[in-house]
Amino acid sequence: MKVRVHVMLKDGVLDPQGEAVKHALGTLGFAGVQGVRQGKVIELDLAATDRAAAEAEVKAMCEKLLANTVIEKYTVELMGETA
């Protein structure tokens, strides 16, 4: 089972990395970039085949390791066997 996790800073939290990318895009001549937020994407390949069990396991991984839930939010996307 392939699972994709997105970890982004929460909306109110300052994102200096995103601001740096926004500034760099402006410098390169890309106008009209109103906002940039940068986060992490983690693709996991799990032995589990049950969707509900896999989702619960990945959420536990996020809470314990993958995301800092004080300042970050995460979303779990099950991609199935073929992705």
Residues recorded for the chain: 83
CB of 70 to a copy of itself, least distance (A): 19
- One of 14, 16, 51, 57 touching a copy of itself (CB under 8 A): 57
Residue placing its CB nearer to a copy of itself in the complex, 27 or 70: 27
Contact 44, 58 (CB under 8 A): yes
Residues in CB range of 2: below 8 A, 6 or more apart = 43, 44, 45, 46, 78, 79, 80, 81, 83
**46: contact with a copy of itself by CB under 8 A:** yes
**59: contact with a copy of itself by CB under 8 A:** no
**33: contact with a copy of itself by CB under 8 A:** yes
Instruction: Give residues in contact with a copy of itself (CB under 8 A).
Output: 6, 8, 18, 21, 24-25, 28, 30-48, 57, 60-61, 64-66
